């Protein structure tokens, strides 16, 4: 199945504000989201520890400053975020079990309620991701709403597990495993990957070369969409002028992934470059892009769209402002 039509072309990215049933219900019921993305999950859940896996918002003009307000009510000047999070503590099975309930309990009108897509974000080894796909396709056969699987190959915060999307051989391993997955269901679930923020040409070329290799006859490209980008790793925010990290991490250094407005120019560059390189290859030009990184208003949304994003995702601004941010983004001023 090709990447489904998402209208309006706006959704949440996989992030901590898409973890619980309540989070997902609010996102699904929002008239201004065209689809809902779950937080990235594993087959058996991630061992989350609040003392080690944390996030914060920061003001790019004064990074030591911290908002006093709770999530959903953070002032807009705190446009950046830093996190040392891993993945969802909830296993994939929990997300698949709650999707029918979210649909049934929705306040949306019937036709919208039964057609709004879900993007199920997962990660794990290539073998584990195949099992995830099998579980997702089984649920797809029971509901009308299109389901997609996003494979997160780009989290920068997992010790001793570098993001696979930087490695051609690792990408090839996933793409090879996925090449036969479409035969598992009469109604193929669209497959995508979440890429990291690439910073030089050879990194983009590694991705494109791996996609081309996976598209050689008799195979066809197993990837329907790319979510670009994830957070920028190796980032640090301090809580004072003495070098104290603002948040903790597994290593204790407080170094994690940066997102929000400081990431926006790099995210735009990634979307523009990936779109251009995909369009140069007949085997790859049908791949869609979800543009993510620093979008918090209509201007940012329009910038993402003009550089090649078919759909735009929102993360930090969702945590800062709540689901109302989607209404704000779609309003023209």
Determine the Cα–Cα distance for residues 237 and 247; give it in Å rounded to an integer.
8
Average pLDDT over residues 101-118: 98
Contact between 118 and 145 (Cβ < 8 Å): yes
CA torsion sign, 254 to 256 to 259 to 263? positive
CA atoms within 13 A on the CB side of 109: 2
**Is pLDDT at 187 greater than 80 in this prediction?**
no
Q: What is the DSSP string of 103-118?
A: HHT--S-HHHHTT--E
Comparison of pLDDT for 270 and 2, the residue scoring more: 270
pLDDT of residue 180: 77
Q: Which two tokens stand for residue 69?
A: 């307000």
Average pLDDT over residues 136-152: 97
Q: What is the mean pLDDT of the chain?
A: 95
Which tens digit of pLDDT belongs to each residue from 274-321?
A: 999 999 999 999 999 999 999 999 999 999 999 999 999 999 999 999
CA 180 to chain centre: 24
pLDDT at 331: 87
Range in 78-92, 265-279, 319-333 with the lowest mean pLDDT: 319-333
Residue 122's SS3 state is strand
Residue that is written with structure tokens 């996933």 in the block? 174
Q: By mean pLDDT, which of 22-26, 133-137, 157-161, 167-171 is the weakest?
A: 157-161
Q: Please tell me the pTM assigned to this model.
A: 0.97
Phi, psi values for residue 256, rounded to 5°:
-155, -155
From CA 190, how far away is CA 203, in angstroms rounded? 24
């Amino acid at each position: 199945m090709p990447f489904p039509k998402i209208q309006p072309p706006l959704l949440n990215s996989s992030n901590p504000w898409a973890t619980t049933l309540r989070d997902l219900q609010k996102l699904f019921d929002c008239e201004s989201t065209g689809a809902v993305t779950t937080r990235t999950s594993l087959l058996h859940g991630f061992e989350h520890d609040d003392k080690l896996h944390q996030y914060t918002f920061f003001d790019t003009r004064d990074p030591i400053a911290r908002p006093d307000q709770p999530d959903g009510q953070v002032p807009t000047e705190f446009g950046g975020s830093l996190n040392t999070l891993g993945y969802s503590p909830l296993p994939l099975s929990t997300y698949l079990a709650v999707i029918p309930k979210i649909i049934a309990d929705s306040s949306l009108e019937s036709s919208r309620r039964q057609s709004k897509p879900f993007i199920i974000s997962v990660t794990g080894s290539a073998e584990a991701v195949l099992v995830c796909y099998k579980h997702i396709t089984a649920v797809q056969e029971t509901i009308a709403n299109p389901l997609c699987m996003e494979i997160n190959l780009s989290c920068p915060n997992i010790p001793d597990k570098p993001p696979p999307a930087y490695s051609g051989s690792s990408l090839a391993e996933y793409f090879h495993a996925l090449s036969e997955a479409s035969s598992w269901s009469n109604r193929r679930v669209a497959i995508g990957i979440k890429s990291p923020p690439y910073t030089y040409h050879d990194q983009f070329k590694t991705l494109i070369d791996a996609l081309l290799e996976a598209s050689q006859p008799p195979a066809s490209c197993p990837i329907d969409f790319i979510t670009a980008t994830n957070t920028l790793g190796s980032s640090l925010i301090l809580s004072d002028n003495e070098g104290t990290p603002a948040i903790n991490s597994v290593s204790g250094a407080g170094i994690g992934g940066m997102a929000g407005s400081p990431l926006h120019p790099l995210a735009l560059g990634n979307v523009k470059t990936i779109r251009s390189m995909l369009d140069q290859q007949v085997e790859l030009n049908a791949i869609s892009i979800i543009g993510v990184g620093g979008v918090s208003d209509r201007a940012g949304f329009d910038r993402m769209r003009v550089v090649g994003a078919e759909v735009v995702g929102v993360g930090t601004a969702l945590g800062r402002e709540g689901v109302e941010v989607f209404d704000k983004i779609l309003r023209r001023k």
